[in-house]
Structure 1
Amino acid sequence: MVESNETAKSGKKGFLIHLLIYIVINLFLAIINIVTVPGYLWFLWVAGGWGIAVVIHGIVVLAS
């Protein structure tokens, strides 16, 4: 498969947006978690599950 330069840039931009949203939302969830229930870090479940998706997205974008 040969992608145009524009398509490759679009894929990388989409990945970077996904990564930025992941970081911002998980920081927000971590703050909420630590303020409300500091004894149980439930936000790690969200970060871990979503993190798997971000890694897969990155692999797909970089492999293409």
Structure 2
Amino acid sequence: MHIAFKESAENKYWINLLIKAGYISESKIILLNNQLNEISKILNLIITTTKENLKQNNA
């Protein structure tokens, strides 16, 4: 999951490059950023929940 979370951060970098280069429209930018933010939130929640569950099982 950590790898997937890092990949989502890298995608933000590439989207920003596409924006600066003028390769994507503003409507696509908004859509991609919204989707990427949702994916990042989901991955972060999975990581956090998994860590908490592991702590409880090891206690």
Q: TM-score, normalised by structure 2?
A: 0.56
CA RMSD of aligned residues (A): 2.5
Residue identity opposite 2:35 in structure 1 = G
Identity of aligned residues (%): 4
List 4+ stretches of structure 1 deviating above 3 A: 39-42
Unaligned runs of 5+ in 2: 51-59
Q: What is the rounded CA distance, in whole Å, between the counterparts of 1:41 and 1:23 in structure 2?
A: 20
Spell out the pairing of 1:50-61 with structure 2 (5 A cutoff). 50-61=36-47
For 2:13 and 2:27, locate their aligned partners in 1 and report how far apart those are by CA, in whole Å: 12
TM-score (norm 1): 0.53
1:43 aligns with 2:16: no
Point out the structure with the larger helix share. 2
